[in-house]
């Protein structure tokens, strides 16, 4: 059984998304709080970032936001966060989130969310961390990205074992079971990073 105390969530900062994405994000936050799990996120004050934090905070949990200084200066941060960690760069932000988390979850998002998810998977492939990674594929949002990853494996850009670096679920209730029961990742698998 994995000891999961903090989970990083990567997701959109857009308010113009489907209500189902917002509902799933808020529900996931409430589930985290009910299990005593601390949310680590990008500290956005709108969109899915705000929704997942709201779910955690409204249920009495803890939400730690990590945000670069230039975003705070634009007032993009979430004033409700339990704690805000201000970084100097985006690179520092991503590294801090990863270092603080025992697992990572990707919700629907834009290019920034994709970049965070793919960097997290790259680091896992290289053996820099072995944390569980779960994609919450609400309404099939990630179907095309998953198909692209499967195509990369088919084209021998990645090994089939790399498909085990993440688990895909469709509902917020399935995230924690996927984290706790998903395949373990051996950092020594880095020897298989190259094809």
Q: What pLDDT is attached to residue 185?
A: 85
Rounded to an integer, the average pLDDT of 49-64 is 98
Q: What is the pLDDT of residues 96-108, one digit of tens each?
A: 999 999 999 999 9
pLDDT band with cut points at 50, 70 and 90 for residue 194? low
Q: What pLDDT is attached to residue 34?
A: 98
Least confident stretch, 33-37, 57-61, 107-111, 161-165? 161-165
pLDDT > 50? residue 121: yes
pLDDT band with cut points at 50, 70 and 90 for residue 189? confident
**Domain residue limits, the chain:** 6-179
Give the ranges where 14-172 is alpha helix by DSSP (H).
19-34, 47-58, 69-73, 90-100, 111-125, 143-154
Task: Compute the distance between CA of residue 194 and CA of residue 182 in angstroms, rounded to an integer.
Answer: 24
pLDDT > 60? residue 1: no
pLDDT > 70? residue 195: no
Q: What pLDDT is attached to residue 62?
A: 98
Q: What pLDDT is attached to residue 54?
A: 98
For the domain with range 6-179, which CATH number is right: 1.10.357.10, 3.20.20.140, 3.40.605.10, 3.40.50.450?
A: 3.40.50.450
pLDDT band with cut points at 50, 70 and 90 for residue 143? very high
Task: Compute the distance between CA of residue 72 and CA of residue 33 in angstroms, rounded to an integer.
Answer: 26
What are residue 134's DSSP bridge partners? 105, 167
Element (H, E) at 180: helix 175-181
**Token pair listed for 75:** 């007032």
């Amino acid at each position: 059984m994995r000891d999961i105390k903090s989970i990083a969530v990567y997701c959109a900062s857009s308010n113009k998304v489907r209500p189902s994405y917002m509902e799933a994000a808020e529900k996931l936050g409430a589930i985290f709080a009910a299990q005593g799990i601390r949310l680590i996120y990008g500290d956005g004050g709108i969109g899915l970032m705000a929704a997942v934090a709201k779910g955690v905070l409204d249920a009495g949990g803890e939400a730690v936001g990590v945000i670069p200084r230039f975003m705070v200066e634009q007032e993009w941060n979430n004033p409700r966060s339990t704690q805000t960690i201000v970084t100097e760069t985006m690179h520092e932000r991503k590294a801090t989130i990863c270092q603080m988390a025992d697992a990572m979850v990707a919700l629907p998002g834009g290019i920034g969310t994709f970049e965070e998810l793919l960097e997290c998977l790259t680091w896992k492939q290289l053996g820099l961390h072995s944390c569980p990674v779960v994609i919450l594929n609400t309404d099939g949002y990630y179907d095309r990205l998953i198909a692209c990853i499967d195509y990369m494996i088919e084209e021998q850009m990645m090994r089939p074992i790399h498909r085990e670096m993440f688990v895909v679920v469709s509902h917020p209730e399935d995230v924690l079971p996927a984290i706790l029961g998903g395949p373990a990742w051996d950092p020594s698998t880095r020897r298989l990073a190259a094809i």
